[in-house]
Each structure stands twice: as C-alpha cells, then as structure tokens.
Amino acid sequence: MAIRRSATKRHGLPTIVQLRLTPTPAQAEALAVAVLLCNEAATIVSRLAWQHRVFAVLELHRLAYYEVRAQVAGLGAQAAVRAIARVAGAYANRRASKKRAHIFRPRGAVPYDARLLSWNRDARTVSLWSPTGRVAVSYTGRPEDLKAVDGLPLGEADLICRRGVWLLQVTLALPKPTVREPVGGFVGVDQGVANLAVTCGGAVLPGPALAGPIGGNGHVRTLRERRHRQRRRLQKKGTSSARRVLRRLSGREHRMMIDLNHQISKYVVREAERTGRGVALEDLQGIRGRVRVHRLQRRTLHTWAFAQQAAFTRYKAARAGIAFVLVDPAYTSQGCPECGNVARANRPARGRFACTRCGLAGHADHIAARNIATRGITGWAVINQPHATGLPSARRDRESKPPASAVGS
Ligand SMILES: [Zn+2]
C-alpha cells in the first residue's frame, strides 16, 4: 500500500487527513496484533487468488473466506471480508502483479472500513477492531484536520505504525456542492489574445481587478512582446524544428500562465458567486476559428492556455456550486447585445465595436463578453430542459450531442 500523506488541496478541504493515535501500551499491542493478522490474512487470500486465478471479489469470497478464517485464528468475519476485498482491489489495480502472488508486508498499512471502526467524535476517540476485541483509542491531529474529521463524512481509514507512532489516515468523503440556479444570469467571459479574459462587467484580466503584483497588464505584455520577438526570430529560421520550439513555451512562461489562469478563474467564479450568477465561456473549438491571429501564435497560446483557463473555471465553479456553460462562439464579436444586429461592419477597427444600426459602441471584447453572458442564459435553459418532452430518440440525441449553443454543464 502506498504511503499517503496528509493532503490539503488548494481549496482548503483536505481529502486525506492523518490523525495520530495515542493508544495505551495494551491497546498498542492489540493494534500491532491486528495489523499483523490482517496482513497475514491478505497474503493468504492473495496466494489463493493467484493459485486459482480468481481475482473478482465475489468468486474470491467463495474461494477464500472459510479457508482464511480457518488458517488465521482470531480473524473475525468482518476482517476476513475486508482482507478479500483488499486482495481483489490490489489485483484490479495492478494487472502486472497477477504475474505473481501479491504479498502484503506484515507491518504494512491496514485499511479499516466502517465495519471495523467507529468514531466517537465528541470524545475524540475511535474504536478499532482487534482480534481481542474493539479498542477505543484517543486521537489528535492538526487543528484543520480535526475540524475536517469533526464535520465531514468519513470514508475508509488506513491504520499504520510508523517508527513506533500509530497513525490513522482517514479518507474524507467530500460533499459535492449542488449547483445553484443562476438567478442573476451569467458572467460572460471573452477569452482573447490581447486580454486573456474580459468579463461582461468590463473587467479586463489580468488587470487591476486582480490582487497583488499580478494586477496590471505588465505580465501579459511582457509575455506577448517576448513571444513576438521569438516568433520573428524563429520565422526567419523557418525550419520545422524552429516551429517546434515556438510551440513550446519556456518553463517560466508556462508557470506564469498557469498562475494567471488560476487568478483569472478565481476572480470570475467569485464574481459569479457574489452576484448569484453562473459563468459562461465560449466553446474552445470555436475560439480557434474566431480569433484571427498568427497561425504560430495560435498554436502556442490557444491550444493550452485557453483550454486551461476554461478547465480551471469549470473546476472552481463546480466546487462553489456555480453553474458553468460553454456557448457557441459564432458571431459573439460581431453581434450587438442591444439591438441584435449582426454585421462585420459592427467592427470598424481592431478592438472596437460600433453597432451600425443602434450606435452602441465599446471595447470589442467587452461586447463579446456581454453576448456570451446572454448565450449562457439560453444555454443553461437548454441543458436544464426537463426531459419529459420529445421522442425517446430525440432525447437520446440531446443527451449525447448537446446543442451547439450549450456544450458542457
Ligand atoms: Zn445595435
């Protein structure tokens, strides 16, 4: 079993927390016997499984249950069941290990499921199975880990003794937030080359809206200028290897872009959360076609930076219970959000929008973001249409192939 450390993800919610057990000497002895016994049982089951080429849990149960209970004195019914499940899991994960019987280290971590342990969170004790009966052991841990254990549903736990210290590594079952209805509409985000993101509220990102040194446009300008110089240099070369180099961003640029994308998506999702809205982005397939930039630049920036920004936004939105939709990007930069007039002439100059019918004028990316926001509302309505209408075949179609205006969830 791999060693799993106490892991705290970026969003602050740990998925696995490590608790330190403080057993009395007698309890520690009981736990040590339990660990040895469980690992011995697992190895016996594993050898049987390998010998008979039986790896599925139900068949393995039929094959090994009575055998292992007969061979390992003191192994209870639940511990035997758990050992069988553990072996099936080990073989399922590693096809290669079927070449020989998987051996469980005598003092390796032992998984305890809900039938082998029970919590008394008020008393900060956990009751653990041992061959000589249950032992209620006190536990301690980092404040944030204890808080998580107190408040969250708990999954399986691994019991392990490391250098004389008893540890319980607990998997937390994180509650999945339900997506709230975007009552306030959608925050539309236009992704671009000049500005990585512009919202329908007019926030230009990266820009002053972002906190810290990244606020302001310095980073992206540097990035663009460097790429421009690099492009000219490599274009002169014109070889295929030069093109390959161009496609690959340097490590520093790469990290900077990841950081920017994290900050942008964080800002956007917060903005949506604050105003009771969802988040709408353009479908990336369309973005590549819409933004007319140099082919090489498109290759380097578009293929991953925009996709990453969308992925980060989707992830952060899901975590916050915010609706997220990808919309059809066709004509988002040429349509007028006020009067609906769609015309190429609405774009008199690069970066400018001026409606030829109603006169609405503004920053082109901002106008596009407003159109994206409107499409977000339509897209959301289509996705959430009750499936009560239409023929079964039509329903299947809609599920497997979302309409062009609403891809995603
Ligand atoms: Zn107009």
Taking only the tens place, the pLDDT of each residue in 99-143 is 788 899 999 999 998 889 999 989 999 999 999 999 999 999 999
Tell how far the Cα of 323 is from the centroid of ligand 1, in angstroms: 28
Spacing, Cα 373 to ligand 1 middle (Å): 16
Same domain? For 123 and 208 the reply is: no
pLDDT of residue 26: 96
**Above 90 in pLDDT, residue 200?**
yes
| Number of domains into which the chain is organized | 2
Asked whether residue 154 is assigned to any structural domain, the reply reads yes
Locate the DSSP E strands across 23-122.
Answer: 110-112, 117-120
Using alpha carbons, select from 181, 186, 187 the residue that is nearest to residue 321: 181
Instruction: Say which residue the tokens 């959360």 belong to.
Output: 273
Does residue 295 lie in a domain region?
yes
Distance 354 CA to ligand 1 centre (A): 8
Query: How far, in Å, is the centroid of ligand 1 from the Cα of 294?
Result: 30
Task: For residue 334, report the distance from its CA to the centre of ligand 1, in Å.
Answer: 10
Is 339:355 a contact under the CB 8 Å cutoff? yes
Instruction: Note the pLDDT tens digit of each residue in 34-68.
Output: 999 999 999 999 999 999 999 999 999 999 999 99
Distance (angstroms) between ligand 1 centre and the Cα of 382 equals: 26
Rounded to the nearest whole angstrom, what is the distance from the C-alpha of residue 273 to the centroid of ligand 1? Answer: 30
Query: How many angstroms is it from 336 CA to the middle of ligand 1?
Result: 5
Given a cut of 70, whether residue 31 has pLDDT beyond it is: yes
For 304-363, where are the alpha helices, taking DSSP H only? 307-320
- Looking at 172, 199, 231, which one is the last position of a domain? 172
196/303 same-domain check: yes
Give the domain CATH number at 256: 3.30.420
Q: What is the pLDDT of residue 400?
A: 36
Same structural domain for residues 159 and 213?
no
Whole-prediction pTM = 0.52
Which residues in 163-251 belong to E strands, given as ranges? 165-172, 186-191, 197-199, 204-205
189 Cα: distance to centroid of ligand 1 (angstroms): 20
**Residue 337 falls within a domain, yes or no?**
yes
Q: Model confidence over 224-239: pLDDT tens digits?
A: 566 667 667 766 766 6
For residues 344 and 283, membership in a common domain is answered with yes
Q: Is residue 166 part of a domain?
A: yes
In a domain, 71, yes or no: yes
- Whole-number Å distance, alpha carbon 359 to ligand 1 midpoint, is 6
130 in the same domain as 71: yes
DSSP assignment letter at 190: E
Can you name the residues that pair with 128 across neighbouring β-strands?
117, 135
CB 259 within 8 A of CB 266: no
Ligand 1 centroid – CA 358 distance (Å): 4
Same domain, 165 and 192: no
Q: What percent of the chain has pLDDT over 90?
A: 51
Residue 241 lies in a domain: no
Centroid of ligand 1 to alpha carbon of 362 (angstroms) = 11
243 has pLDDT over 50 = yes
State whether 135 and 258 are in the same domain: no
Do 149 and 204 lie in one domain? The reply is no
CA 321 to CA 176: how far, in whole Å?
8
- Cα 84 to middle of ligand 1, angstroms: 69
Position 228 in a domain: no
Instruction: Say how many Å lie between the CA of residue 348 and the centre of ligand 1.
Output: 14
How many whole angstroms from 353 Cα to the centroid of ligand 1? Answer: 10
End-to-end CA gap in the chain? 36
The residue assigned the tokens 């289509």 is: 382
Alpha carbon of 363 to ligand 1 centroid (Å): 14
Regarding whether 284 and 160 lie in a shared domain, the answer is no
Distance from Cα 365 to the centre of ligand 1, integer Å: 15
Ligand 1 centre and the CA of 374: distance in Å?
Answer: 15
Rounded to the nearest angstrom, the distance between the alpha carbon of 188 and the centre of ligand 1 is: 18
Q: How many residues does the chain have?
A: 409
Supply the angle between the helices 307-320 and 251-275 in degrees, to the nearest 10.
40
Q: What is the extent of the structural domain holding 63?
A: 7-172
What's the pLDDT score for residue 293?
45
Q: In the predicted model, what is the mean pLDDT of residues 184-212?
A: 87
Helix or strand (DSSP H, E) at 126: strand 125-128
Alpha carbon of 352 to ligand 1 centroid (Å): 14
Q: How far is the CA of 324 from the centre of ligand 1 (A)?
A: 27
Task: Using the mean position of ligand 1's atoms as its centre, give its distance from the Cα of residue 335 in Å.
Answer: 8
pLDDT digits (tens, 9 = 90+) for 349-391: 888 999 999 999 999 999 999 999 999 999 998 888 765 443 3
| Residues 211 and 257 reside in one and the same domain | yes
Final residue in a domain of this structure, among 172, 206, 230: 172
**pLDDT at 172 > cutoff 90:** no
Q: Which residues contact 274 (CB under 8 A, 6 or more apart)?
A: none
pLDDT at 253 exceeding the cut of 80: no
Mapped onto helix, strand or coil, the DSSP state of residue 63 is: helix
Distance (Å) from CA 187 to ligand 1 centroid: 21
Residues 205 and 161 in one domain: no
Q: Are residues 112 and 205 in the same domain?
A: no
Calculate how far, in angstroms, residue 274's C-alpha sits from the geometric centre of ligand 1: 29
The answer as to whether 178 is a domain residue is no
